[in-house]
Structure 1
Amino acid sequence: MNSNKKILTALVVLLLIANVATIGLFWFKKENKPQQLKGGPAKFIIKELELNKSQQEQYLVLVEEHQQGVRPLRDEIKDAKDAFFSLLSQPNVTEAEKQTAAKMVSVSTEKLDLLTFNHFAKVRAICNPTQQKKFDAIIKQVMQMMGEQHPKGRGPHQGPPMDGPPHNGPPPHERPEGELLPPPQN
């Protein structure tokens, strides 16, 4: 009985240590994540670069212009990916057809990447030299934050989700048992 009590005490202590370690890991992971503010990357940039009122106004105009340009490009990418992955349902798809469809996805993605690059070049241009150094230091963090705003894929425009082609029904693990393909869309 005494040895059972010792074993039980040791197990409780071990579980407490495991719980503390797990909580510590989650806490440590949160500390290492890029700072997220309500309002996302825009508020983060304003705060980190300490933009003055005039710069903030210019920046918000640039953000609006960027968002207006991004929306149709995201639709274009979605349509190109849908067309690409719809080739899977066709028999005897040639390599040339696959290459052409894949190229359409990459051309649209390139347009989006260039639009985003040019947007951030304009943002950097409204900064003073001190702010530009800070901008250079945080841009990767900002891009990561932008990627986290698109949970369905792997990033803002980095391809389909890891669980299958885009916009083609629920992922396999969410489909009814035995259903391999999504129901036909009419």
Structure 2
Amino acid sequence: MITPRTRGRLLVLLVVVLLITNIAMLIFFVFLKPDPRNRGGRGDYVVEYLKDKVGFDTTQIAQFKALREKHNTNMQPYFTQIRADKDKLYKNLYKGNALPDSVLYPLTDSIGRDQAVIERALFKHFNEIRSICTPEQQPAFDSLLTRLFRRMPGGNGGPPPKWKENR
């Protein structure tokens, strides 16, 4: 049985542990902020990958960054429109409203048209990037694209491993 004195000691110990944990979290979040140069996320990873695995030089990296910036700028309106159309579509679902086909079909058709534009532009974008590769770099770049597309929804990656095991 726990005596009142033991219970008091446990509570003091618990408060001390929680206090130390909170101080450690404050130090981490306030003083150990991540380097802002690393906040670019995936874009920086792609640049490093192109340098290390494909063998891009500084000129090719500059060309890639210019192509990526142009592509992202051109695609932004389509992503914005798709997001707006999906918001209209799913807000009705969240409200419990049934959408008539006269509203549903135009929204989904608009999403499909914009997605088709994005897919064509993405194909052209990757083709432009491939064109700045030397013939020696192209197999490594092609390998990168193959892995990338297998990870994307609808890619040829096949079913997840658990699904294969359960069949």
TM-score, length-normalised on structure 2?
A: 0.56
The residue that corresponds to 1:84 in the other structure is 89
Quick one: distance in 1 between partners of 2:112 and 2:47? 27
Task: Confirm whether residue 134 of structure 1 aligns to residue 140 of structure 2.
Answer: yes
User: Taking structure 1 as reference, are residues 130 and 86 closer, same or farther at Cα in structure 2, changes over 3 Å only?
Assistant: same
Fraction of identical pairs, as percent: 19
2:68 equivalent among 60, 63, 72:
63
Q: Which amino acid aligns with 1:103?
A: D
User: Taking structure 1 as reference, are residues 59 and 49 closer, same or farther at Cα in structure 2, changes over 3 Å only?
Assistant: same
User: Taking structure 1 as reference, are residues 55 and 110 closer, same or farther at Cα in structure 2, changes over 3 Å only?
Assistant: same
TM-score, length-normalised on structure 1?
A: 0.51
Does the CA contact (< 8 Å) of 1:37 and 1:44 recur in 2? no
The count of aligned residue pairs is 113
Q: How far apart are residue 73 of structure 1 and its match?
A: 2.2
Quick one: distance in 2 between partners of 1:63 and 1:130? 22
- The alignment yields a C-alpha RMSD, in angstroms, of 2.9
User: Taking structure 1 as reference, are residues 46 and 96 closer, same or farther at Cα in structure 2, changes over 3 Å only?
Assistant: farther
Task: Confirm whether residue 51 of structure 1 aligns to residue 59 of structure 2.
Answer: no
Q: Equivalent residue of 2:146, what SS? A: helix
The residue that corresponds to 1:74 in the other structure is 79
The residue that corresponds to 1:7 in the other structure is none
List gaps (5 residues or longer) in structure 2: 1-40, 155-167
Quick one: distance in 2 between partners of 1:37 and 1:84? 29
List gaps (5 residues or longer) in structure 1: 1-35, 148-153, 156-186
Q: How far apart are residue 105 of structure 1 and its match?
A: 1.3
Q: How far apart are residue 38 of structure 1 and its match?
A: 7.9
Post-superposition Cα deviations, 1:70-122, rounded to whole Å, max 9, x if no partner, equal 32222111111112223434755322321211111111222222222211110
The residue that corresponds to 1:107 in the other structure is 113
User: Taking structure 1 as reference, are residues 137 and 92 closer, same or farther at Cα in structure 2, changes over 3 Å only?
Assistant: closer
The residue that corresponds to 1:31 in the other structure is none
Q: Equivalent residue of 2:137, what SS? A: helix
